[in-house]
Every structure is written in C-alpha cells, then in structure tokens.
C-alpha cells in the first residue's frame, strides 16, 4: 500500500506540539505550535496538489534537486519544518516564551498565506496531461515550492518568479 504524503506530513507536523517545552512555557506554546503546524500542513498539502496535478516550476534552490519527486520534496520540507519548530521551541521557548509564541503566530500567518498562494497559482496553471498525471511513475518532471509555486509559462523561454 502506497503511503499518502499528506497523511505523513499532517502526523509529523501535529507531533510538533510534543516538542513544546515542559512547564508553564509549554502551555503558552501549545496553541501557537498547533496552529503553525496546521498552517504548514495546509501549505504542504497545497504544494503536493500543485506538483502532481498542475504545471508549476520550482524556484527554491534548496528543494530544486527534488523537482521531479514531489513526495520526497514535501517530506523533506516537512522534516525541515519539524526540526525548525522543535529547535525554536526548545531554544527561544524556554527563555522567552512570549517571543517564541509571537514567532509561531507569524509562521502560521505566513504559511497560511503560502497555502492560499499555492492554491491561486494552481488554479491559474494548466493541468498536466493524463500521461503525466503521476510524475513518480512516468518520469515527468513536476515542479513547485511552497513559497513560490508559479505556473509554467506558455513559452519555455519565459521564466516567471512570483512572490518576490
């Protein structure tokens, strides 16, 4: 049975709540961590949708090598999120819980924006052909990035960059 990447991402990001420091600081960070994890999961789910069903380009240099493998791209990005939020909660959350909570709320707002940005760009981008519907099986090279998913230009000599 093939694992669904959005299920893995949601479970991993929901586990971020367990990474909050213990004590009073942990209680202060539980809600913002949960909301940030939910926004990140929405961002990665919209990224995966756009990568597998729409013609978009990857512009993030860290994730570009995984352009042809959307499942791995999303899983790597989610792992980076989990590690980053865990480190944030452990370092900043223990000494300055108010600043840590503010940072998590900013992250949640930004990731919510990215999810909406991905959905908007996926709506504008042309659909992949039926032969390229499953890029993992066909060898097609899908592309996309949670921060800057952009529709593929009609003319391949034209490059587009949005959100910058």
Q: Is the pLDDT of residue 157 over 50?
A: no
Lowest mean pLDDT among 3-12, 48-57, 77-86, 105-114: 3-12
Q: Enter the tokens of residue 55.
A: 């013609």
- At 122-137, the pLDDT tens digits run 898 888 776 544 444 4
| Banded pLDDT at 155 (limits 50, 70, 90) | very low
Instruction: Look at 14-23, 37-46, 87-96 and tell me which has the smallest mean pLDDT.
Output: 14-23
* Helices and strands in the chain: count of H runs, count of E runs: 5, 2
Instruction: Kindly tell me if the per-residue pLDDT of 87 is higher than 70.
Output: yes
CB neighbours of 127 closer than 8 A, spacing ≥ 6?
Answer: 53, 54, 55
Residue-level pLDDT at 62: 86
Phi, psi of 3 (to 5 degrees): -75, 140
> Is 156 or 99 the better-scoring residue by pLDDT?
99
Which residues, 6 or more positions from 96, have their beta carbon under 8 angstroms from its beta carbon? none
Find the distance separating the first CA and the last CA of the chain, reported in whole Å.
Answer: 40
The pTM of this model reads: 0.69
Cα(92)–Cα(161) distance, rounded to whole angstroms?
33
Domain ranges of the chain: 5-151
Q: Which residue has the higher pLDDT, 48 or 57?
A: 48
């Amino acid at each position: 049975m093939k694992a669904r990447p959005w299920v893995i991402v949601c479970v991993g990001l929901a586990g971020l709540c367990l990474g909050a420091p213990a004590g009073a600081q942990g209680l202060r960070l539980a809600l913002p961590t949960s909301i940030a994890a939910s926004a990140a999961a929405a961002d990665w789910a919209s990224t995966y949708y756009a990568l597998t069903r729409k013609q978009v380009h990857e512009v993030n240099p860290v994730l570009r090598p995984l352009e042809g493998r959307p499942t791995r791209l999303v899983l790597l990005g989610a792992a980076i999120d989990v590690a980053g939020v865990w480190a944030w909660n452990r370092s900043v959350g223990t000494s300055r819980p108010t600043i840590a909570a503010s940072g998590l709320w900013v992250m949640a707002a930004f990731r919510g924006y990215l999810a909406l940005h991905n959905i908007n760009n996926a709506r504008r981008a042309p659909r992949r052909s039926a032969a390229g519907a499953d890029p993992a099986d066909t060898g097609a090279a899908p592309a996309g990035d949670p921060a800057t998913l952009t529709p593929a230009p009609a003319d391949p000599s034209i490059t587009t960059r949005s959100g910058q």
